[in-house]
A and B are shown apart, each in its own frame.
Chain A
């Protein structure tokens, strides 16, 4: 006796949805003999072969129907029914072809079966309504259309509304003409009335017009026999009430029938290896499926996309997939895994969480190094936009975002230093990221803490480092002297800034904004006053000088260095009117 696991795929319209069945297995004959990286299509046909056969036959039937080969279409649908008697799409399509062939009773039977298979599927009720209309059961048809309307998506709703209008119209015409027939006994009037109105049945736009004609008629004193809105006769009202009662009954019944469709998988057809990621060799976590049907862990596929825009397994181009940033988890795969290997899924999730915690702990201590970006000299409080295109940095930035740290270390490249970069740097906090369709990005950052490197390492291709964060020693004595020095350097720097020519100034404003105002108690800030960093960035300074200022944790000494530099620059600009060094 085969063991059966039930998978509930209530959201799945049919096993073929979003899958390219024609694509087939897509295995490139991996020589290991192991069936690695099965496509979704492979899984679906392995699990539900019969249903898949049914879908193929149904598709065949649809083609015949499009070519108006009704008999052949019906034949294909009948064959499909043997494989997949629960396929609501098949039942609906067969209902449609029966209806077209004028076999209304059978059309109704299939439509009803479709609504039983999928009580929440709007179109089933539409088919039912069409069959009922053909059978002349107008009230029932209206009930079905109303059921369809409450389930239908809003963008399709106007069609249903038209149909409901037509259906009411039909019903009212019948009621009206019946009464006329009985009251006046004039058969010809009946026929005349019906034929006059019948074009409206195929063109809803005509209906309002005929309504207005009717109301004109009603002024002639015939209102009792007409469907004008002013005074509906008793019989019509009771009919409408009957329809509403029936409708309520049906809706209540649907609410109770919790018929969510369950598709079962025989355990012998279920292979856990199908859910091993072909990139990290672990079970899939947050599985993402490419258009070619191959599934990978989201983070694994992201990493591949940093390097190449083709599927790692079959080399199909997935450029559009990348451009549209379609990284939604494939519920089908996730549900399948959760159903049959819940404990493995749990374990895998734990693994992922641990990895994230590890990344999130960056910089916490010497065990948890910070990721290092080697590009330029970053300065505290100053913004630093980066163009990120190298695969290793794409990975690094993504991890900063996913782990939630949103920061990394920036170091200036240095030829003779260990691993090719300076032994100190500045943290950059990520403000926002703009992606280009090919996966590159502009990352807007701003400098924050300064650090000195304790040891350097490499992780998955990018550099990491254990660091010691630097902050200014808060001065406790000679504060007034420090204030004096600060004010003097601030004044000198402002003077230099004012002396810069207009165009350069504008460029500075665009890039770095205006000079930051002096903070209260600036001497207690870990990085000192922000205006100094702003001046250091716009001064034409060599990286080495900037770096030595960065490493300085005494505000007083930084002020002294800056004083000297600004003075030199002013002397170069205006040799005659330069103030003597140290003048205050």
Chain B
């Protein structure tokens, strides 16, 4: 007795396919239309440049009343992303609004890669290094990008 996919999710998916966000691909899973395979290209000029980062995005039953659940699958050295790939982003938590959409979320994640925010950290040791020795942190982030995000 599974309820049909809400019209909104269908439309969002269609629009995402028709006008993709530059540098991001999001494809719904073949067996679960609420589950998206996301690939984000590391933004130019960031320590993640050249990397290809895989994420998973899931729309819970209450979506859009509650935020999509997003997680990095590819290892990344970033002050706002922890070892398990969880992302510290306000719009995924208390700042979520049902008028936001998958597209907004993806854009915000892209922006987070361009501008890490060590003052609002999730991965504490990374944020610490980012604050004390930014160039060293950036060097590690580049190295991680080469090691984990350029493999395939």
Contacts and interface: CB of A to CB of B under 8 A. Distances in A.
Contacts, number: 61
A188 to B, nearest CB: 79
Given A281-B7, A367-B1, A391 B12 contact: no
Given A31-B107, A280-B8, A459 B97 contact: no
B65 A304 contact: yes
A455 B1 CA distance: 8
B103 interface: yes
Grouping DSSP codes into helix (H, G, I), strand (E, B) and loop, the A interface class, with mixed when no group exceeds half, is loop
A369 B3 CA distance: 11
B99 A459 contact: no
A376 to B, nearest CB: 23
Contact of A278 (B19, B21, B62, B99): B99
Given A281-B8, A307-B65, A461-B65, A37 B99 contact: yes
B1 A30 contact: no
B147 interface: no
B11 A312 contact: no
Nearest to B12: A281
B11 A315 contact: no
A282 B103 contact: no
B43 interface: no
Contacts of A482: none
B61 interface: yes
Contacts of A313: 97, 99
Contacts of B101: 32
Contacts of B46: none
B98 interface: yes
B7 A280 contact: yes
A246 interface: no
A279 B1 contact: no
A254 to B, nearest CB: 47
A457 interface: yes
Contacts of A464: 1
Contact of A460 (B2, B3, B15): B3
Interface string A36-79: 11000000000000000000000000000000000000000000
Contact of A32 (B8, B64, B103): B103
Interface size class of A (residues with CB under 8 A): 20 to 34
A315 B7 CA distance: 24
Given A303-B65, A304-B65, A461-B62, A32 B1 contact: no
B65 A391 contact: yes
B104 interface: yes
A307 B107 CA distance: 24
A143 interface: no
A466 interface: yes
Interface string A512-532: 000000000000000000000
A308 B96 CA distance: 10
A306 B62 CA distance: 12
Interface in B89-138: 97-99, 101, 103-104, 107
A401 interface: no
B61 A461 contact: yes
B107 A312 contact: no
A460 B4 CA distance: 11
Contacts of B2: 457
A458 interface: yes
Nearest to A458: B61
Nearest to A303: B65
A279 B8 contact: yes
Interface in A301-325: 303-304, 306-308, 310, 312-313, 315
Contacts of A366: 1
A353 B15 CA distance: 27
6 contacts: A30-B104, A279-B98, A281-B7, A281-B11, A315-B97, A458-B3
Given A315-B97, A457-B1, A461-B65, 7 more contacts: A31-B21, A280-B7, A281-B7, A303-B65, A303-B98, A312-B97, A461-B62
Interface of B: 1-3, 6-8, 11-12, 15, 19, 21, 61-62, 64-65, 97-99, 101, 103-104, 107
